[in-house]
Structure 1
Amino acid sequence: MAQLSFASLDYAAKKKRTKRDVFLAEMAGVVPWVALEALIEPHYPKAGPSGGRRPFPLAVMLRIYCLQQWYNLSDPGAEEVLYDICSMRTFAGLELGRDTIPDETTILNFRHLLERHELTKAIFGAIAEFLETRGALLRGGTIIDATLIAASPSTKNKAQKRDPEMRSSKKGNQWYFGMKAHIGVDATSGLVHTAGVTTGSVHDAKVMDNLIREDDRAVYGDKGYANDRKQRQAETAGVLWAVKAKAKPGRPLSISQRRRNRHFGKIRAKVEHVFQVMKCQFGYRKVRYRGIAKNGVQVFALLALTRKIGNTDFSLPLRMPDNPNTSRTL
């Protein structure tokens, strides 16, 4: 067993466990680290026979990457908190004074490794498979929805242009500039099983088929997915079409339609919990990078880490600490 520093011993002896301590301890126990490391290991650099700087252990870098997602940390910010916060160092398996702390360039290179090999998609799929084997991810129905992730509209950059891969989308009477994250959520467990990202101008209904599983017997969605043709196809196939009815010009909704909308809306609300965790708890309200691909990598990582395993919630919405693409690409 590695010897702890006096600072770590003092921290371990404190009388109260903080919310961050509780959260990170639970994450250390429920995330399938061995399976995730096995996905990344073939692409991770090995120590060369001629010497040179040895790479940091993969387990350390993966945990630091997870800390970045949970606490909305930049690469320099992640390096800073590893020096400042003992609970985060402990979670990453680092001891100040004994271990070298990865610098921001090392953290950046690991993130680029995940982006280059699309490994967050593989992580997303691996966790889905793990949940299914544990009986947490069920079959039967899917709730579909999308959320807008804002991008900076500023042209104060070298090219003097906005990000060309981002587009504007109108919601109500308000225009938004950015991209969309589309998800399919299991109607029983509320867990994300399929996800994808598109530019902001893509209509939600155009990608709904990619979010529905072949064996789904019910489809839930908001009014943006209302489609008479798809409804007829679903009913012919014996699939429950639980998409909210949309009023047509000169034809307001009937009492029975409004009652139906309220009933299905209570089930559909589960999909909003995912976006609440991603945007409010993890702070992902605005894209960090330019381009759909790089931001899509982060979306898959965030959605993977918003999952539940067994009775433990990856988001822990009531216990979240203070802030310091089986995925199909749509």
Structure 2
Amino acid sequence: MKQGELGLNLSTKRTRKREFLDEMSQVVPWADLVALIEPHCPKKKTGRPPFPVGTMLRVHFLQQWFGLSDPAMEEALHDVPLYREFAGLDGAMARLPDESTILRFRHLLERHDLAAQILTVVNGMLAGKGLMLKAGTVVDATLISAPTSTKNSSGERDPEMHSTRKGKQYYFGMKAHIGVDADSGLVHTVIGTAAHVSEISQAHSLLHGNETDVFGDAGFVGVHKRPEAAPGVRWHVSMLPGKRRRLDLSDRAQAMLNEIESIKAKIRGKVEHPFRVLKQQFGMAKVRYRGLAKNTAQLKTLFALSNLWMARRALLAYGV
């Protein structure tokens, strides 16, 4: 009889995937998130008992981390013992959720806008441990591509996506606009728009309201003059690249301006780390659904999880 047929796992190697899931299992505030979602779950009185909310939430997060569709997630639960173990489905007679169950849970989160509330719960926990200071914010946006092919059931591209030009290249898809804590680099606000929506138009919506200083790249030039600008907020916007290149560094005043720009760039660089985790760690280089609402909900979930990932060492040191 084979080792797998006995339900034994004699391997001693701790893979990177196992290390990742073990760390995330410790830092995610499971009890708070289950308490958030449970009131919205339908109460079944007949038929098979539903899967626990905690189990479905773990399956949902596995989907987000590893970029799995609903059918692929169902198959992965059958094929990968590590996923079953993480979701608490590793018993010998455990029933596994099928793709319809996984889909219904995702739709439940979307219908009640729970992704935004998940981000709020996670950030509340991080702020409570002093990991988000909220004295300053860095704002930026990134493009996320959408399929341009019309070879689908509707015969058209996603009508909620749009084309835009960056440099000399055109992109089709959406933009993820984020506001990031200038000290920790953790995301506190997420807005999803079509790709052609300008970054400056969303800038003031990315502020949480308690910051005194905000940092942005040259795309935010003139943001403080907009009618929605909040009083008492100091904007530190990068100098236009062409103007900076023309600085005469032999002149003391202009050399100091160049040094100030370097300092602003170091602070502004904090916003790039969440984008790297989103696209490289979690594989969100392209949209996974049709429509802005579904993709924005996924972005909010992923940025909540990226905050936990970036803060995991501090959280583990707290003994979370």
Compute the TM-score of the two structures, normalised by the length of structure 2: 0.88
In the alignment, which residue of structure 2 is the partner of 1:172? 167
Following the alignment from structure 2 to structure 1, what is the Cα–Cα distance between the partners of residues 56 and 176?
26
In the alignment, which residue of structure 1 is the partner of 2:276? 276
Deviation readout 1:36-89 (Å, 9 max, x if unpaired): 0111101112231xx212211111100000000111111111111111111111
CA contact 1:142–1:184 (8 Å) conserved in 2: yes
Q: How far off is 1:92 after superposition?
A: 0.1
In the alignment, which residue of structure 1 is the partner of 2:139? 144
Following the alignment from structure 1 to structure 2, what is the Cα–Cα distance between the partners of residues 236 and 248?
30
In the alignment, which residue of structure 2 is the partner of 1:325? none
Of residues 180, 184, 193, the one that matches 1:189 is: 184
In the alignment, which residue of structure 2 is the partner of 1:39? 36
Deviation readout 1:203-256 (Å, 9 max, x if unpaired): 00001001123221211111111117549x98983x44321011578x945643
In the alignment, which residue of structure 2 is the partner of 1:25? 22
In the alignment, which residue of structure 2 is the partner of 1:327? none
Following the alignment from structure 1 to structure 2, what is the Cα–Cα distance between the partners of residues 159 and 6?
44
Q: How far off is 1:157 after superposition?
A: 2.2
**Which region of structure 1 is more displaced relative to structure 2, 33-42 or 51-60?**
51-60
Of residues 8, 11, 24, the one that matches 1:10 is: 8
Following the alignment from structure 1 to structure 2, what is the Cα–Cα distance between the partners of residues 298 and 254?
46
In the alignment, which residue of structure 2 is the partner of 1:245? 239
Following the alignment from structure 1 to structure 2, what is the Cα–Cα distance between the partners of residues 311 and 203?
30
Of residues 208, 217, 226, the one that matches 2:212 is: 217
Following the alignment from structure 1 to structure 2, what is the Cα–Cα distance between the partners of residues 310 and 296?
21
Q: How far off is 1:10 after superposition?
A: 2.8
The one-letter code matched in structure 2 to 1:40 is: I
Unaligned ranges ≥5, structure 1: 315-330
Deviation readout 1:6-41 (Å, 9 max, x if unpaired): 768632x42221111111111111100011011110
In the alignment, which residue of structure 2 is the partner of 1:133? 128
Matches within 5 A, 1:105-144: 105-144=100-139
Q: How far off is 1:292 after superposition?
A: 0.5
Kindly tell me: are residues 117 and 253 of structure 1, through their superposed partners in 2, closer, same or farther at Cα, counting changes over 3 Å?
A: farther
Following the alignment from structure 2 to structure 1, what is the Cα–Cα distance between the partners of residues 35 and 230?
43
Following the alignment from structure 1 to structure 2, what is the Cα–Cα distance between the partners of residues 307 and 215?
19
Kindly tell me: are residues 101 and 229 of structure 1, through their superposed partners in 2, closer, same or farther at Cα, counting changes over 3 Å?
A: closer
Matches within 5 A, 1:224-303: 224-227=219-222, 229-230=224-225, 237=232, 239-246=233-240, 252-253=246-247, 255=249, 256=254, 257-303=257-303
Following the alignment from structure 1 to structure 2, what is the Cα–Cα distance between the partners of residues 172 and 126?
38
Q: How far off is 1:161 after superposition?
A: 1.6
Deviation readout 1:119-171 (Å, 9 max, x if unpaired): 11111111111111111111211000001110111111233221111111111
The one-letter code matched in structure 1 to 2:297 is: V
Kindly tell me: are residues 9 and 265 of structure 1, through their superposed partners in 2, closer, same or farther at Cα, counting changes over 3 Å?
A: same
CA contact 1:234–1:241 (8 Å) conserved in 2: no
Kindly tell me: are residues 236 and 209 of structure 1, through their superposed partners in 2, closer, same or farther at Cα, counting changes over 3 Å?
A: closer
In the alignment, which residue of structure 1 is the partner of 2:317? none
> Secondary structure at the residue paired with 2:139?
strand
The one-letter code matched in structure 1 to 2:289 is: Y
Matches within 5 A, 1:59-78: 59-78=54-73
> Secondary structure at the residue paired with 1:194?
strand
